[in-house]
Amino acid sequence: MVTDSELSFMHQVKSLQLDVPPLIAHFLTGFGNTTIPSGRDIKFRMWKVPSYCNAGNTSGWFGRVSADTQPFYQNYPCLVVYVARMFAILEGGKDIWWNFPAEIQPVIAGGLRPSPACIGYGPRENLSRDQRYLLEVNGVHVAEQFPSSNRCLPLNVSLLLGILTMLCAQSGLQLLPIPETIVGSLGQICLTVIEDEYEEGTTMATEMTLMSPCFIPNEVSFPASAFTYHVHPAVDEAAKKELPRQPWVIWKFGENAPADWAQLTAAGNLFRESEPEVLAIKEFRTTPYHIRSKLQALKTALNGNIS
């Protein structure tokens, strides 16, 4: 079930008839209902998100960061995180990882600070003059209300259309419509486990292993290994000192890390515990790989140059 604001958001985005680069379109095509090789239908469903709240001059937050809301920040795209990142970059802030509004700061003691790295929101990048101008001309100004056409979710229509115009002007860039089908791919049931230590600044090159409850065709497992729909963090006790730099967790610990740090990390892993038991069986697995190289190879394959 979706709220009125969420339904309105979907209709608003659909009415814009936006086109996106191929990798984004193919990534979105992977979400939806699917059928596993045994013939069993797997219905795609999502947890009901907490009530959206206002913080930092815009709405769309899942609430104060806690053990209850952490799985949502870890597993769902939170558009307002991107808005906060826009503000932080425009403001010239260096620590954009920790630039969450005070209203949604963690309620747990121990010097915790939340990080948008939970869904791979990406490291800080310096904006060009044209990029800064695009944000500012569409009303994105530091310390001001984010202009939105939706009551609860951040939706800046003029900014989206401005970005589309820029994409269309790029010579040789192929664009595809945003998928609207409810049928997904087998790739979304594959479980991706983080195996290696994360090197700061190279989140896309963290070694991982792909596992699946069934053997799936190479043409399906290949995109699944690149897009990593279902990520299971695997950070053991030995990596505790490295935890502030691990991907897929939204906690940055101070010197006095709380004793329940592992429980907080596990909260996101248990988010899909209501799935059918058949999806919890891990019979097929790949060898470790690097996501960045997989994405590059996938892009080549989509261009028809697969070997």
pLDDT digits (tens, 9 = 90+) for 26-79: 999 998 999 988 888 988 777 888 999 998 888 999 988 777 887 887 778 888
> So what's the pLDDT on residue 87?
82
The verdict on residue 46 lying in a domain is: yes
Number of structural domains in the chain = 1
> So what's the pLDDT on residue 219?
79
- Gap between the Cα atoms of 164 and 170, Å rounded: 10
Tokens 């009125």 locate to: 4
**Which range of residues forms the domain containing residue 73?**
4-302
Cβ neighbors of 104 (< 8 A, separation 6 or more) are 53, 55, 61, 62, 63, 64, 65, 114
The verdict on residue 274 lying in a domain is: yes
Angstrom CA distances, 257 to 69, 79, 107, 112, 243, stand at: 19, 29, 14, 8, 10
Q: Please state, rounded to an integer, the average pLDDT across all residues of the chain.
A: 76
Tokens 């101070």 locate to: 254
Tokens 């899909």 locate to: 272
> So what's the pLDDT on residue 160?
95
The verdict on residue 8 lying in a domain is: yes
The verdict on residue 284 lying in a domain is: yes
- Gap between the Cα atoms of 2 and 202, Å rounded: 36
Cβ neighbors of 88 (< 8 A, separation 6 or more) are 96, 99, 124
Tokens of 139: 């009303």
For the segment 106-117, the average pLDDT, to the nearest whole number, is 48
> Beta-carbon neighbour count of residue 125 at 10 Å?
10
> So what's the pLDDT on residue 263?
64
- For the stretch 179-231, pLDDT in tens is 888 899 888 888 887 665 544 444 445 667 788 888 888 778 888 888 888 87
DSSP 8-state symbol, 32:
S
- Gap between the Cα atoms of 101 and 107, Å rounded: 13
The verdict on residue 94 lying in a domain is: yes
Asked if 82 contacts 76 with a C-beta cutoff of 8 angstroms, the reply is no
The verdict on residue 220 lying in a domain is: yes
pLDDT reading at 138 higher than 50: yes
DSSP string spanning 144-157?
A: SPPP-SSSSS---H
- Gap between the Cα atoms of 84 and 105, Å rounded: 13
pLDDT reading at 106 higher than 70: no
The verdict on residue 231 lying in a domain is: yes
pLDDT reading at 137 higher than 80: yes
> So what's the pLDDT on residue 294?
78
Residue 266's Cβ-count burial label (10 Å; 0-12, 13-18, 19+) is middle
> So what's the pLDDT on residue 260?
55
The verdict on residue 307 lying in a domain is: no
- For the stretch 275-292, pLDDT in tens is 777 777 777 777 766 777
Angstrom CA distances, 182 to 27, 32, 43, stand at: 13, 5, 10
**Rounded to a whole number, what is the largest CA-CA distance in the chain?**
54
Angstrom CA distances, 72 to 81, 138, 266, 270, 289, stand at: 12, 29, 13, 11, 27
